[in-house]
Each structure stands twice: as structure tokens, then as C-alpha cells.
Amino acid sequence: MKHEKIDAVEVCKELEDLLAPRLKLSVLDRAVYSHLLRHSRFEGKLRLRFSILWLAHNLGITARRARESVRRLVDQEVLRLVERSNIGHVVEVRLPGEVPAARDGRTATGSRAKLQGEVNLDELDFMRTPALRRSIHAREHGVCFYCLRRTPRRAHCLDHVVPLAQSGSNSYRNLVSCCLSCNSRKSDLPAADFLRQLFREGRLSAKDLSARLLAVQALAAGKLRPQVFSGENAGSDRGKEVRKLRPGGLSVGLSSNLAADGRARRPALE
């Protein structure tokens, strides 16, 4: 398929004048995006297969910094991840004018005119859309709600604290992000009983157990609110869309990601 010829000068202007300011792209993220753009759209290709090591080598940075930058660009929808495997990534590299946040006039942290306060979270079914499900995962910052292990995105799932079979709901007050192991082992156990079981097995310390039990109470009380902002008619039954803020913009009443001393953990990168 023949792609429309790209005006590189105009694209660079849109990057500096439109995309970078709106998304608050760092110097590193601009460099990574420009490099991927150079090897994809400027070459007439919509998609690009590359490895993190290749990207890091070409830009003279560490693989860790390259990986983090790619993740940020994917989260901000500058890149669309098509495939990820041991041999590399396949991404669709969007032009600045094709990025939803730039096209719609949103900022990196969402529309200032439609913030969380205008969305009644208690009326939302958080299993209904991928965006709402991701907002629950983002609230836990990549850590299992129960055992506090760092959980890669491909190895986590959502769990109903009160099972559906026991009249549990799809509310944010009843959904947590957890590892596959905890999801399977908890089954229909009450959350508090399962946490005590983890403590008896030595997977949680006494302080961890206390913090987790408090987190369960905070969850039920509505204090662990995922950050979302509404699209048009958000929250109604007529095809409305609710989009989550990116993890960098999260503001949670009481983090479910608590360390043993009750302070918020900062989980390590994958």
C-alpha cells in the first residue's frame, strides 16, 4: 500500500509547536519519538519493528531509559503497540496530528474541563471498557493488591474482592488488580481471610497484613478512587466513553499500594 508523502518539515513543526507542549514530552521522549518517526513514517512505513537494545544503542542511552520512554509514548498514544515479543516490538508510529490528545486538544493529564469530579464513579461498571479496567490496574501501580508483588502487565488480572456469586459488583470499590496466582488461590474467600492466609504462609509480614486490611476497608469506603475523566455523556447508558488519566496523573485518596509501614511503595520497573 502506498502511503501519502510526508512533509517532514511540517511534521517537525507540529511536534515542537503542538504535540510536545500538550503532552509535556521530555527531551528524551522527543528524541525517542523523532528517531522512531525517522525510521518509519519518514521512510513511508506506518509500522516499525525494533528492539529496545537497537533503540538504546542508536541514541546512546541505557536500555532501561529507552524502555521507559517507549512505555510513556505508548501510554500517551503517540505510539500504538501492535506486538511485543522476545525479538522486539512492532509499533504504529503516529504523526503529531494523529495523536488523540493533540487532535482533541487534551493535555497529558486530560481535559481540564472534564475532570474526575464530574464523573459519578459509583455509577460506572468498571468491567465495561478496556479504559476503565486499565484505570483499576493503574491505581495499584503494577503491584498485586494482595501479596504486594510487582506484577507485569501481561501477568495481572482484575479480582472481585466480594465475588459476583456473593452479590459483589463491578464497582471500583470491589475491583482490585492482582497477580494471577492470588486471583486463582483467593477464589471465593473473603479478602480479609485470604490476606491472613498469605500472612500465615509468610508472604506478608505483620505490618503488611495490617496495611492490607486497612486497604480493604478503604476500598469499600470509596477512598481508593481510580483517576478517570469523562468523554461526552460519560457514565450514561447510551454509548458513553470514559477514559482514564495516565498513571502519571493519578491522585488516589488512599493508595492501595502500601508498604509495611503504611507509606506508599514505589514499585520497581519490569
Cell 505510539 maps to which residue?
A: 79
Return phi, psi of residue 175, to 5°.
-115, 135
Cell representation of residue 242: 470514559
Q: Would you state the pLDDT for residue 34?
A: 94
Domains of the chain (ranges, CATH numbers): 8-104 (1.10.10.10), 116-249 (no CATH)
Give the range among 9-18, 217-226, 259-268 with minimum mean pLDDT. Answer: 259-268
- Structure-model confidence comparison of residues 247 and 143, the more confident one: 143
Is residue 216 pLDDT above 60, yes or no?
Answer: yes
Cell 496523573 maps to which residue?
A: 249
Indicate left, alpha or beta for 77 from its phi (over 0: left) and psi (-120 to 50: alpha).
Answer: left
Note the pLDDT tens digit of each residue in 6-20. 888 888 888 888 888
Give the range among 39-48, 126-135, 200-209 with minimum mean pLDDT. Answer: 126-135
Q: Would you state the pLDDT for residue 119?
A: 62
Is residue 103 pLDDT above 50, yes or no?
Answer: yes
Cell 493529564 maps to which residue?
A: 109
User: What mean pLDDT is reported for the chain?
Assistant: 78
